[in-house]
Amino acid sequence: MLAAAERAWGEECGVVGIYGDSDASRLCYLALHALQHRGQEGAGIVSCDGGQLKGITGLGLVSEVFNHSKLSKLPGSSAIGHVRYGTAGDSVLKNVQPFVAGYRFGSVGVAHNGNLVNYNELRIMLEDSGSIFNTSSDTEVVLHLIATSKARPFISRLVHACEQLEGAYSLVFLTEDKLVAARDPYGFRPLVMGRRSNGAVVFASETCALGLIEAEFQREVNPGEVIVVDRDGVSSLCLMPHKERKACIFEHIYFALPNSVVFGLSVYQTRYRIGEVLAEEAPVDCDVVIAVPDSGMVAALGYAYKSGVPFQQGLIRSHYVGRTFIEPHQKIRDFGVKLKLSPVKEVLEGKRVVVVDDSIVRGTTSSKIVRLIKEAGAKEVHLRIASPPITGSCYYGVDTPSREELISHKLSIDETCAFIGADSLAFLPLERLRGMLGHSAPTFCDACFSGNYPILPKHLDLPPSGVDTRIKEPVVLPVA
């Protein structure tokens, strides 16, 4: 994927939890590597040893935050970890998770993927009753709700806290004697459970993390479920009110790695099929199919297969332009895309090119990519997008620009094509995406395409179901 600075459609976060392995923090470290694509701003691990929680967090990639000596300071047989994506203003060390807090009956660590839509209300309520906040992250309200709950024991406090949360959360908690995983009743963000051959229990945002640490996938943490792991074994509580499941379809289109199985579906197979459908929906006479690497790759393979046109690598992505790349000033900003993507002249020169990308957000990156391909000598550039047009912001843990900045909110497909400078432009139709999902389509959230928001932040007017009404400018909520 392109770096967030260019991509605007920000990655989310990744969480991991391990119980029952003497190498818990090292396994956490490896699992976080596998989840690095979900966030590059910061990383952290908290482990429990002898009833004491110890944590290390830092800004940067997992490999930059941790080394051998730091990991050796995190002993114990249970641990939780987090990779964070954050907007620029939020990327301060104190916002990097896991967070740890002490309360009357002990300590608790938490790592969160998602976004709470009632964060503002909860924070005001807690501050009115005397809570003092240390961060600008919505995750901190979870700790305050646990600390101030009158329920006993810990699990009842935790469930009581979760019952007050609205929005998206896949959470892992660590206490002196327990690892707990919880997922919001809609199940917006993924969370899976696996086991290592020594019996250690693992929770992770994606199955690709299980694979790396040789844990066998067991099942998803179900929406609304709380799973407790302690010395008595694994127990499941389904205490939160049942809602219709709304899993984020964008996990399949963009976020998750193709080798993951997310919400019970192979990401690779979904993307490949999307490419095939795009070829059926928007065929064009062309000589070569290329992808915008990495997230357009699998859909491009599907498009090429279905259309019978060879796939070639027309754009090479640099793996060495990191998230710290700073575009020096406006005048030479365009170098950003050129640094990240290099055209292969031999593939493109004189050709009619289909280029497949995962999505269009503001349209500026797409126009630079089309220009790059044309400058390399392509005769025609036909852009095929492996998602429907994005017309609305996300409130469930994906850092999107405001609705007014989304090109598909402002312009028709023809106008977008003209803006981008492509010879033709086609998106995956929303009906075809839903058709691919079959009877499970209603269990997916597609609000950023359809406007059907399952739940909105309290201060926004709730549109009637299925109606894409004008939504006011969203407030900037911290992204977990």
Binding-site residue numbers for Mg(2+) are 295, 357-358
Q: Which of 138, 166, 357, 446 binds ligand SF4 (CB under 6 A)?
A: 446
Q: How far is the CB of 458 from ligand SF4 (least distance, A)?
A: 17
Q: How far is the CB of 453 from ligand SF4 (least distance, A)?
A: 7
Q: Is 265 in the site for ligand SF4 (CB under 6 A)?
A: no
Residues 146 and 162: their CA atoms lie apart, in Å, by 9
Query: Is 420 within 8 Å of 367 (Cβ atoms)?
Result: yes
CB nearer to ligand SF4: pick between 158 and 480: 480
CB nearer to ligand SF4: pick between 378 and 477: 477
DSSP classification of residue 89:
G
Total number of residues binding ligand SF4 (CB under 6 A)? 11
Specify whether the backbone of 8 is left (phi greater than 0), alpha (psi in -120 to 50) or beta.
left
- Given the rule CB under 6 A, which of 134-142, 212-220, 348-356, 442-450 is the region that contacts ligand SF4? 442-450
**Which residues does 320 contact at the CB level (< 8 Å), separation at least 6?**
none
Q: Is 398 in the site for ligand SF4 (CB under 6 A)?
A: yes
Q: How far is the CB of 360 from ligand SF4 (least distance, A)?
A: 14
Q: Is 396 in the site for ligand SF4 (CB under 6 A)?
A: yes
CB nearer to ligand SF4: pick between 203 and 250: 250
Q: Is 445 in the site for ligand SF4 (CB under 6 A)?
A: yes
- Given the rule CB under 6 A, which of 135-143, 274-282, 300-308, 391-399 is the region that contacts ligand SF4? 391-399
Q: Is 394 in the site for ligand SF4 (CB under 6 A)?
A: yes
Q: How far is the CB of 13 from ligand SF4 (least distance, A)?
A: 13
- Given the rule CB under 6 A, which of 31-39, 214-222, 275-283, 393-401 is the region that contacts ligand SF4? 393-401
Q: Which of 447, 471, 477, 480 binds ligand SF4 (CB under 6 A)?
A: 447
Q: Is 303 in the site for ligand SF4 (CB under 6 A)?
A: no
Q: Which of 2, 425, 448, 479 binds ligand SF4 (CB under 6 A)?
A: 448
Alpha-carbon distances, residue 131 vs 96, 126, 215, 347, 477 (angstroms): 20, 5, 39, 60, 19
Q: Which pair of tokens denotes residue 44?
A: 């952290």
Residues 353 and 388: their CA atoms lie apart, in Å, by 21
Residues 475 and 480: their CA atoms lie apart, in Å, by 15
Residues 12 and 361: their CA atoms lie apart, in Å, by 16
**Which residues does 117 contact at the CB level (< 8 Å), separation at least 6?**
166, 167, 168, 395, 396, 455, 456, 457, 458, 477
Residues 309 and 21: their CA atoms lie apart, in Å, by 50
CB nearer to ligand SF4: pick between 99 and 263: 263
- Given the rule CB under 6 A, which of 46-54, 81-89, 285-293, 394-402 is the region that contacts ligand SF4? 394-402
Residues 168 and 322: their CA atoms lie apart, in Å, by 28
Q: If you count them, how many residues does the chain have?
A: 480
Q: In what order do the strands lie in the sheet with 192-196?
A: 52-59, 42-49, 78-84, 14-19, 201-204, 192-196, 215-220
Interactions with ligand SF4, residue window 244-263 (CB under 6 A): 248-250
What residues form the annotated binding site for [4Fe-4S] cluster? 248, 394, 445, 448
Alpha-carbon distances, residue 410 vs 44, 95, 113, 427 (angstroms): 39, 34, 30, 16
Residues 463 and 291: their CA atoms lie apart, in Å, by 36
Letters for 155-194 (x = contact with ligand SF4 by CB under 6 A, - = none) are ---------------------------------x------
DSSP classification of residue 479:
P
Q: How far is the CB of 445 from ligand SF4 (least distance, A)?
A: 3
Q: How far is the CB of 237 from ligand SF4 (least distance, A)?
A: 25
What are residue 14's DSSP bridge partners? Answer: 83
Q: Is 480 in the site for ligand SF4 (CB under 6 A)?
A: no
Residues 231 and 178: their CA atoms lie apart, in Å, by 8
CB nearer to ligand SF4: pick between 102 and 442: 442
Active site amino acids:
13
- Measure CA 193 to chain center: 18
Q: How far is the CB of 444 from ligand SF4 (least distance, A)?
A: 7
Site of interaction with ligand SF4 (CB under 6 A) = 188, 248-250, 394, 396, 398, 445-448
